[in-house]
Amino acid sequence: MVNPAKIAALFPGQGSQAVGMGWDLAERWQSAASVFEAIDNGLDASLSELCWNGPEDDLKLTENTQPALLAHSAAAWTVLSDAGFEVGAVAGHSLGEYSALVAAKALSFESALRLVQKRGELMGTHGEGEMSAFPMDLDTIRPIAERHRCAIAGLNLPEQTVIGGRSEDLESVERDVKEQYPRKRAFRLKTEGAFHTYYMVKAAQHFQFDLDAVNFDPSETRVLSNFSGGYHESDPVDIRARLFFQLFNPVLWHSNLVTAFGDGINTIIEFGGGIGKATEPEGKRPNLEGMIKKAMHAAGHEAQYQAAINVQSIKDAAEFVCGTGEIDSQQP
């Protein structure tokens, strides 16, 4: 059995949603079904139906995507937690930070649901622009981005930087990069705005009131902060402040991973979401796996990686970290 103190649970963000996510978990385990019932009751809408059956165009709207991904991550986490799973640290990419706070019991699922639904609504309403990922380091892409009024939105890897800006400004950046670095190809992200940049300031100004209205508890597990790159303090005031700043500042994801590696994390489990062309949950791939493994290689760090995003991967994760098959006894 793996030492819980050396395990980190990671949660993906927007872009890892897919029609069909979670129905297999709800069909297999009552604890997962209860999470989806909770999102429907909490939002007074059938979001579970949207998760499971679409349509995709509605699911990818930010105001729907964020609570939907929270629910899928929480459902996967709940099933494995019921099997005795414990961790030493949690982290989430952008939206995933809210799933991490739920896992650490710093935030109730009901409160997190209200926050991410409002967060998604505000980001979709007040934000503008788009985002592109570049296989380039910060020092190289930043001056090109700033020349065209674009801003750094995320530092995923030493050689992967995300920027945000208006569509025409991003096109200018992409054109300049193509001319100066012909082998560097940008990847335009599917978002409703330039998240984690100055385009989100107005959304953050509105969101601070929602953050202030929700109760945070001292976390039971260390939670990594996208804004600082290190751990959150346990003080709820600090957590609120960093979530506020997270909306319009770069996601320091690589720093989060390096911090975890430095603490000797040797097992990483990714919960929720799924990408790829497969139409069924069992065919989906985890969203963060590539970044995690590249970050380990760059840092010279070794750790076991396991996904927990569908029935089989959750069972495999339970066997790996808990050494138990008792997870099968949780059928409705």
Residue with tokens 């509605």: 58
Burial class (CB in 10 A: 0-12, 13-18, 19+), 190: exposed
Q: What is the dihedral of CA 116, 146, 162, 257, to 10 degrees?
A: -90
Residue 266, both tokens: 């040797």
Is 254 one of the catalytic residues?
Answer: no
**How far is 131 from 153, CA to CA, in rounded Å?**
8
The edge-to-edge listing of strands for the beta sheet with 160-165 is 151-157, 160-165, 130-134, 187-189
Question: Distances from the Cα of 141 to the Cαs of 70, 128, 148, 285, in angstroms?
Answer: 32, 21, 11, 29
The one catalytic residue in 72, 148, 196, 254 is: 196
Element (H, E) at 65: helix 62-82
Element (H, E) at 115: helix 109-126
Torsions phi, psi for 222 (to 5 deg): -65, 135
Is 148 one of the catalytic residues?
Answer: no
Residue 196, both tokens: 């984690």
- Do the strands 130-134 and 187-189 form a parallel or antiparallel pair, or are they unpaired? antiparallel
The one catalytic residue in 16, 31, 48, 94 is: 94
The CA angle 102-222-327, to the nearest 5 degrees, is 55
Q: Among all residues, which ones are annotated catalytic?
A: 94, 196
